[in-house]
Amino acid sequence: MSEVSSKSSQQTDHTIPQGDYFVQEFVPFILNNVTNTINQRFKKSLRKFDLNVTQWRVLAALGQKGNVSLTDLCAMTAIDQPSLSRVIDLLVERNLVTRAPRATDGRFNEIALSREGQSLRDRAWPMAIEHAELAVNGLTGDEQETLRQLLKKMMASLRGD
């Protein structure tokens, strides 16, 4: 462990570290760079399906959960509600998702994949898996599992779970 990283984990006085700390050790910066790099590569592959990464996230989430509310879909995809509403509008126009009043409470809409959306998601899924595997191919199976568990733990902490 570098001197900066060992100091940073013990640092409680909130002084500004010197050197390359922000770029080399600051966890939010590293996570953002990893995510952006994965998404930039994935975006190129999604072009053949006429999708962007955000649209893909919606299709993938709906493929796992079925009929969901906009609020639940926001939580599942980490997309803010105004942006997600625009994505849903576009996907409805393309007949990839459906939006209908909830049978038990018409004040709420339920969003689901259409048959066309399910087909597109199924065709794009293997490519998504390839990109996910590429992102972790330098890690052992145990390291990949540890990474998943640590990221889930971070997310739970951020949510206040």
For the domain that residue 45 is a member of, what is the CATH number? 1.10.10.10
Q: Is 74 part of any domain?
A: yes
What tens digit of pLDDT does each residue of 72-109 get?
999 999 999 999 999 999 999 999 999 998 888 777 88
> Which structural domain, as residue segments, surrounds residue 58?
22-159
Structural contact between residues 128 and 56, judged by C-beta atoms closer than 8 angstroms: yes
Enter the pTM of the model.
Answer: 0.81
Helices (H) and strands (E) in the chain, counts: 8, 2
Query: Would you write out the chain's pLDDT as a tens digit for each of its 161 residues?
Result: 444 444 445 556 688 888 887 778 889 999 999 999 999 999 999 999 999 999 999 999 999 887 999 999 999 999 999 999 999 999 999 999 999 988 887 778 899 999 999 999 999 999 999 999 999 999 999 999 999 999 999 989 988 88
Q: Is 128 part of any domain?
A: yes
